[in-house]
Structure 1
Protein backbone atom coordinates (compact mmCIF):
# COMPACT_ATOMS: atom_id res chain seq x y z
CA UNK A 1 0.00 0.00 0.00
CA UNK A 2 1.47 3.32 -1.05
CA UNK A 3 -0.56 5.53 1.26
CA UNK A 4 -3.10 5.68 4.07
CA UNK A 5 -6.27 7.76 3.95
CA UNK A 6 -7.16 8.86 7.49
CA UNK A 7 -9.74 11.05 9.13
CA UNK A 8 -8.36 13.06 12.04
CA UNK A 9 -10.82 14.78 14.36
CA UNK A 10 -10.07 17.30 17.10
CA UNK A 11 -12.58 18.30 19.79
CA UNK A 12 -13.01 19.69 23.28
CA UNK A 13 -11.00 22.76 22.34
CA UNK A 14 -8.24 20.85 20.51
CA UNK A 15 -9.48 22.29 17.21
CA UNK A 16 -8.13 25.69 18.30
CA UNK A 17 -4.60 24.29 17.84
CA UNK A 18 -5.46 23.21 14.29
CA UNK A 19 -6.79 26.36 12.67
CA UNK A 20 -10.27 25.92 14.16
CA UNK A 21 -10.81 22.93 11.87
CA UNK A 22 -12.37 19.95 13.63
CA UNK A 23 -12.01 17.34 10.86
CA UNK A 24 -8.99 16.79 8.64
CA UNK A 25 -8.98 14.22 5.82
CA UNK A 26 -5.33 13.36 5.21
CA UNK A 27 -3.31 10.95 3.11
CA UNK A 28 -0.05 9.70 4.60
CA UNK A 29 2.78 7.63 3.19
CA UNK A 30 2.29 4.03 4.38
CA UNK A 31 5.78 4.05 5.89
CA UNK A 32 6.89 7.26 7.56
CA UNK A 33 10.33 6.17 8.70
CA UNK A 34 12.80 3.27 8.64
CA UNK A 35 10.52 1.04 6.55
CA UNK A 36 8.32 0.50 9.62
CA UNK A 37 4.56 0.50 9.45
CA UNK A 38 2.92 3.79 10.26
CA UNK A 39 1.75 3.76 13.86
CA UNK A 40 0.12 6.30 16.16
CA UNK A 41 3.52 7.44 17.45
CA UNK A 42 4.60 8.35 13.90
CA UNK A 43 1.21 9.95 13.27
CA UNK A 44 1.55 12.23 16.30
CA UNK A 45 4.88 13.48 14.95
CA UNK A 46 3.36 13.98 11.50
CA UNK A 47 0.46 15.94 13.00
CA UNK A 48 2.92 18.14 14.92
CA UNK A 49 4.94 18.85 11.78
CA UNK A 50 2.08 19.23 9.27
CA UNK A 51 -1.17 20.28 10.95
CA UNK A 52 -0.46 21.85 14.32
CA UNK A 53 -0.78 25.64 14.26
CA UNK A 54 -0.72 26.29 17.99
CA UNK A 55 1.77 25.58 20.71
CA UNK A 56 3.16 22.02 20.44
CA UNK A 57 3.35 21.67 24.24
CA UNK A 58 -0.46 21.85 24.36
CA UNK A 59 -0.66 18.71 22.20
CA UNK A 60 2.54 16.71 22.77
CA UNK A 61 4.52 15.81 25.89
CA UNK A 62 7.41 13.32 25.99
CA UNK A 63 6.68 11.89 22.53
CA UNK A 64 3.00 11.23 23.11
CA UNK A 65 -0.18 13.25 23.49
CA UNK A 66 -0.15 15.19 26.72
CA UNK A 67 -2.23 14.03 29.69
CA UNK A 68 -5.84 15.11 29.47
CA UNK A 69 -6.25 14.25 25.79
CA UNK A 70 -8.53 11.31 25.06
CA UNK A 71 -7.56 9.42 21.90
CA UNK A 72 -10.08 7.23 20.08
CA UNK A 73 -9.22 4.87 17.25
CA UNK A 74 -12.36 4.07 15.25
CA UNK A 75 -14.49 4.99 18.30
CA UNK A 76 -12.45 2.78 20.67
CA UNK A 77 -10.19 4.08 23.45
CA UNK A 78 -6.63 3.80 22.21
CA UNK A 79 -5.61 2.05 25.45
CA UNK A 80 -7.53 -0.98 24.16
CA UNK A 81 -5.79 -0.76 20.78
CA UNK A 82 -2.14 -0.59 21.87
CA UNK A 83 -1.77 3.20 22.20
CA UNK A 84 1.37 4.45 20.39
CA UNK A 85 2.06 1.03 18.83
CA UNK A 86 -1.30 0.77 17.04
CA UNK A 87 -0.59 0.18 13.33
CA UNK A 88 -2.71 2.52 11.26
CA UNK A 89 -4.98 1.08 8.62
CA UNK A 90 -6.46 2.73 5.57
CA UNK A 91 -9.65 4.67 6.40
CA UNK A 92 -9.04 4.75 10.17
CA UNK A 93 -10.60 7.60 12.11
CA UNK A 94 -8.45 8.98 14.92
CA UNK A 95 -10.11 11.40 17.36
CA UNK A 96 -8.29 13.64 19.85
CA UNK A 97 -10.50 15.20 22.55
CA UNK A 98 -9.27 17.49 25.29
CA UNK A 99 -10.80 16.60 28.63
CA UNK A 100 -9.27 19.65 30.32
CA UNK A 101 -11.37 22.77 30.48
CA UNK A 102 -10.52 26.16 31.92
CA UNK A 103 -12.71 27.72 34.53
Structure 2
Protein backbone atom coordinates (compact mmCIF):
# COMPACT_ATOMS: atom_id res chain seq x y z
CA UNK A 1 0.00 0.00 0.00
CA UNK A 2 2.88 2.33 -0.64
CA UNK A 3 1.66 5.89 -1.00
CA UNK A 4 -1.79 5.32 0.49
CA UNK A 5 -5.28 4.93 -0.88
CA UNK A 6 -6.60 7.49 -3.40
CA UNK A 7 -10.17 8.54 -2.62
CA UNK A 8 -12.47 11.15 -4.16
CA UNK A 9 -14.65 13.07 -1.72
CA UNK A 10 -17.72 15.24 -2.34
CA UNK A 11 -19.22 17.85 0.01
CA UNK A 12 -22.85 18.51 -0.91
CA UNK A 13 -25.97 20.12 0.50
CA UNK A 14 -24.13 23.22 1.70
CA UNK A 15 -21.22 21.41 3.38
CA UNK A 16 -18.87 23.05 0.88
CA UNK A 17 -19.19 26.24 2.96
CA UNK A 18 -17.06 24.74 5.77
CA UNK A 19 -14.53 23.35 3.30
CA UNK A 20 -13.52 26.61 1.67
CA UNK A 21 -16.08 26.27 -1.11
CA UNK A 22 -14.79 22.86 -2.21
CA UNK A 23 -17.43 20.52 -3.51
CA UNK A 24 -14.87 17.88 -4.53
CA UNK A 25 -11.47 16.88 -3.21
CA UNK A 26 -8.91 14.17 -3.90
CA UNK A 27 -7.44 12.54 -0.79
CA UNK A 28 -4.53 10.16 -0.26
CA UNK A 29 -5.22 8.36 3.01
CA UNK A 30 -2.57 6.37 4.87
CA UNK A 31 -2.21 4.71 8.25
CA UNK A 32 0.91 4.70 10.40
CA UNK A 33 0.56 0.95 11.01
CA UNK A 34 0.46 0.20 7.23
CA UNK A 35 -2.99 -1.44 7.52
CA UNK A 36 -5.63 -0.52 4.96
CA UNK A 37 -7.14 2.87 5.87
CA UNK A 38 -10.77 2.98 6.93
CA UNK A 39 -13.49 5.61 6.89
CA UNK A 40 -12.30 6.56 10.37
CA UNK A 41 -8.91 7.45 8.87
CA UNK A 42 -10.56 9.39 6.04
CA UNK A 43 -12.55 11.48 8.52
CA UNK A 44 -9.37 12.31 10.42
CA UNK A 45 -7.69 13.27 7.13
CA UNK A 46 -10.60 15.53 6.16
CA UNK A 47 -10.62 17.29 9.53
CA UNK A 48 -6.83 17.78 9.50
CA UNK A 49 -6.36 18.73 5.85
CA UNK A 50 -9.58 20.09 4.33
CA UNK A 51 -11.78 21.59 7.05
CA UNK A 52 -11.04 25.32 6.98
CA UNK A 53 -11.77 26.43 10.56
CA UNK A 54 -11.59 23.43 12.88
CA UNK A 55 -12.39 25.45 15.98
CA UNK A 56 -15.56 26.93 14.49
CA UNK A 57 -16.77 24.32 11.99
CA UNK A 58 -15.78 20.93 13.39
CA UNK A 59 -19.12 20.68 15.23
CA UNK A 60 -20.97 21.17 11.92
CA UNK A 61 -19.30 18.09 10.40
CA UNK A 62 -18.42 15.82 13.33
CA UNK A 63 -19.98 14.76 16.61
CA UNK A 64 -17.42 13.09 18.84
CA UNK A 65 -15.54 10.79 16.42
CA UNK A 66 -18.34 10.25 13.92
CA UNK A 67 -20.14 12.22 11.23
CA UNK A 68 -22.81 14.45 12.70
CA UNK A 69 -26.43 13.24 12.46
CA UNK A 70 -28.10 14.92 9.50
CA UNK A 71 -25.19 14.22 7.16
CA UNK A 72 -25.82 11.42 4.69
CA UNK A 73 -22.66 9.47 3.85
CA UNK A 74 -22.47 7.44 0.66
CA UNK A 75 -19.65 5.10 -0.36
CA UNK A 76 -19.77 4.62 -4.12
CA UNK A 77 -23.47 5.62 -4.08
CA UNK A 78 -24.31 3.14 -1.29
CA UNK A 79 -25.37 4.18 2.21
CA UNK A 80 -22.35 3.73 4.44
CA UNK A 81 -24.50 1.92 7.02
CA UNK A 82 -24.58 -1.00 4.57
CA UNK A 83 -20.79 -0.87 4.16
CA UNK A 84 -19.66 -0.91 7.81
CA UNK A 85 -19.62 2.85 8.50
CA UNK A 86 -16.37 3.85 10.26
CA UNK A 87 -14.86 0.38 9.77
CA UNK A 88 -15.23 0.35 5.97
CA UNK A 89 -11.83 -0.33 4.39
CA UNK A 90 -11.10 2.21 1.70
CA UNK A 91 -10.28 1.15 -1.85
CA UNK A 92 -8.48 3.13 -4.53
CA UNK A 93 -10.87 5.36 -6.46
CA UNK A 94 -13.72 5.11 -3.94
CA UNK A 95 -16.14 8.02 -4.15
CA UNK A 96 -17.25 9.18 -0.70
CA UNK A 97 -20.11 11.70 -0.64
CA UNK A 98 -21.13 13.76 2.38
CA UNK A 99 -24.50 15.48 1.99
CA UNK A 100 -26.10 17.69 4.59
CA UNK A 101 -29.81 16.99 4.93
CA UNK A 102 -30.27 19.95 7.29
CA UNK A 103 -31.42 23.14 5.65
CA UNK A 104 -32.26 26.47 7.22
CA UNK A 105 -35.69 27.88 6.59
1:80, 1:33 → 2: CA distance? 27
Q: Which runs of 5+ in 2 are unaligned?
A: none
Report the TM-score when normalising by structure 2: 0.90
Number of aligned residue pairs? 101
1:14, 1:35 → 2: CA distance? 31
- Give the match for residue 43 of structure 1: 42
1:57, 1:83 → 2: CA distance? 19
**How do 1:1-103 residues align onto structure 2 when only pairs under 5 Å count?**
1-2=1-2, 3-29=4-30, 32-54=31-53, 55-103=57-105
2:32, 2:68 → 1: CA distance? 23
Q: Which runs of 5+ in 1 are unaligned?
A: none
RMSD: 1.1
1:65 CA drift (Å): 0.4
Deviations along 1:34-92, one digit per CA (max 9) or x if unpaired, are 34320001111111011001411100101000000000000000001000000000110
2:43, 2:60 → 1: CA distance? 13
